[in-house]
Chains A and B, each alone.
Chain A
């Protein structure tokens, strides 16, 4: 769950979304995350964890999917 902090910080900073609303079932689009913001979030992730994302990643729909994706990549990078 390393990535949830980053997602919460980002949504709080950019959209004033309170951290308690950023739960696994929350749909990113409903929180205000559009395609452009998704790119920014990916960029923040790359920056924070030093991981490069491939350009053909499937876009996550929910916070939970985003966390799974990011945490999976973090674990892979450490293995």
Chain B
């Protein structure tokens, strides 16, 4: 079977800034952080940490009460992002007779799944002494609830699957969706990811790893500083982002707007350690993505880095880029946008894929925010510290490197080429 070109025809997200997709991208390009100081009323010890939330997201307003009540917050945010991407692609939500959706599918990333539903259940059992839980608990809590609801609501009869690969979850989901469209198995795949990490037990577990940046009401906005000499760690965030991947000819035939082209996907495992990353594994993933996309290193005009702002992660990522790009690495534009939208775990790669596609489409590279003094260990690439435009961008990579040693890299090409 000949390989198909894969167009990106729909982009959608639940923006932590509260606005729409253009607003999201313009704020990123302005270097505006979405991180604030989260303070909860959890007992016995309230959470207080820098966090990127979606406070303006009203699931009942977006989804309607009956549907919203059948979902955990991670699925609500995911469903909302999916609807946005679908609408953005110009596809009707209700299936009609003009096109069978039997081979259209969903590949969704989530690192955590419906932890809010399970945590609510634990509180009922252990704090309130209840014997039984709501019969919806399993259905809200299961990792596949987001992709299942998306398939049901949009009438998609092809594969519906979830991918749980820690921080690379939605990169893997997008990559697997891409392969299905490229092979001709599916004309359209809706893909992306969503996660909600502010469940009390989950947030406390992340604290225990000592990778979270400290902050208070004044400093939370600048708490995540990838590649910076004074970086202190990551900032967790909730979010959801979705892309519609479509057979290029199918997209052209229906007159769809094409935002960009996804051309390559490389995934590897370091196979050495659960949390200590290895440049060798990341290097192999980047090279696989380039080869898969028929790209040379010299074709790449931008890399959206994984860039979590941890002590160990950032230098390893830059080392991998230096290894792949060689002498050209010093002129390779790189930015870590988690400095502004935080680390959305299973949604991280999806929101960064959208940012990468928008950078290519609009010819604007968003910056790494709060990078005043570069860590010498992270030197060797062209760190973009304020939005850059003026040159058309040809191709770009989006890196995602996860606990467990799983690496996933996506390669995109501008649609105008």
Residues of A bordering B, CB below 8 Å = 13-16, 32, 36, 39-40, 42-43, 46
Q: Chain A residues near B134 (CB, 8 Å)?
A: 40, 43
With CB as the reference atom, state the residue of chain A lying closest to B133: A43
Is B331's beta carbon under 8 Å from chain A? no
Given contacts A43-B132, A43-B134, A46-B132, contact A36 B65 (CB under 8 A): no
List, in ascending order, chain B residues with CB within 8 A of A42's CB: 135
Closest A residue to B130 by beta carbon equals A47
Check A36 against B135 for contact (C-beta < 8 Å): yes
Among B66, B132, B135, B139, the residue within 8 A (CB) of A14 is B66
- Asked if B39 lies at the interface with its beta carbon under 8 angstroms from chain A, I say no
Q: Looking at the complex, which one of A32, A39, A43 makes contact with B66 (CB distance below 8 Å)?
A: A32
8 A Cβ contacts from B94-149 to A: 132, 134-136, 139
* Residues of B with C-beta under 8 A to A40: 134-136
Instruction: Decide yes or no whether B69 CB sits under 8 A from chain A.
Output: yes
| A39 x B135 contact (CB < 8 A) | yes
Nearest residue (CB) in B for A13 is B65
Minimal Cβ-Cβ distance residue in B for A41: B135
Residue of A14, A39, A43, A46 touching B69 (CB-CB under 8 A): A14
9 shortest A-B CB distances, which residue pairs?
A39-B135, A15-B66, A43-B135, A40-B135, A14-B66, A43-B134, A14-B69, A16-B65, A40-B136
B4-47 contact mask (Cβ, 8 Å, vs A): 1 or 0: 00000000000000000000000000000000000000000000
**Using an 8 Å CB-CB cutoff, how does the interface string of B62-77 with A read, 1 for contact, 0 for none?**
0001100100000000
- Complex: how many Å from CA A14 to CA B136? 13
Do the beta carbons of B66 and A16 come within 8 Å of each other?
yes
Contacts of A15 in B (CB 8 A): 66
Specify which chain A residues have a CB less than 8 angstroms from the CB of B66 in the assembled complex: 14-16, 32
CA distance A68 to B134 in the complex (A): 23
Residues of B within 8 A of A14 (CB): 65-66, 69
Given contacts A14-B65, A14-B69, A32-B66, 9 further A-B contacts (CB under 8 A): A16-B65, A36-B135, A36-B139, A39-B135, A40-B134, A40-B135, A40-B136, A42-B135, A43-B135
* A-chain residues with CB within 8 Å of residue B65 when the two chains form the complex: 13-14, 16
What are 20 residue pairs bridging A and B, where the CB atoms are less than 8 Å apart in the complex? Answer: A13-B65, A14-B65, A14-B66, A14-B69, A15-B66, A16-B65, A16-B66, A32-B66, A36-B135, A36-B136, A36-B139, A39-B135, A40-B134, A40-B135, A40-B136, A42-B135, A43-B132, A43-B134, A43-B135, A46-B132
Q: Return A53 CB to nearest CB of chain B, in Å.
A: 11
Residue of B with least CB distance to A40 = B135
A29 shortest CB reach to chain B, Å: 15
Alpha-carbon distance A43/B69, docked complex (angstroms): 15
Residue of A nearest to B65 (CB): A16
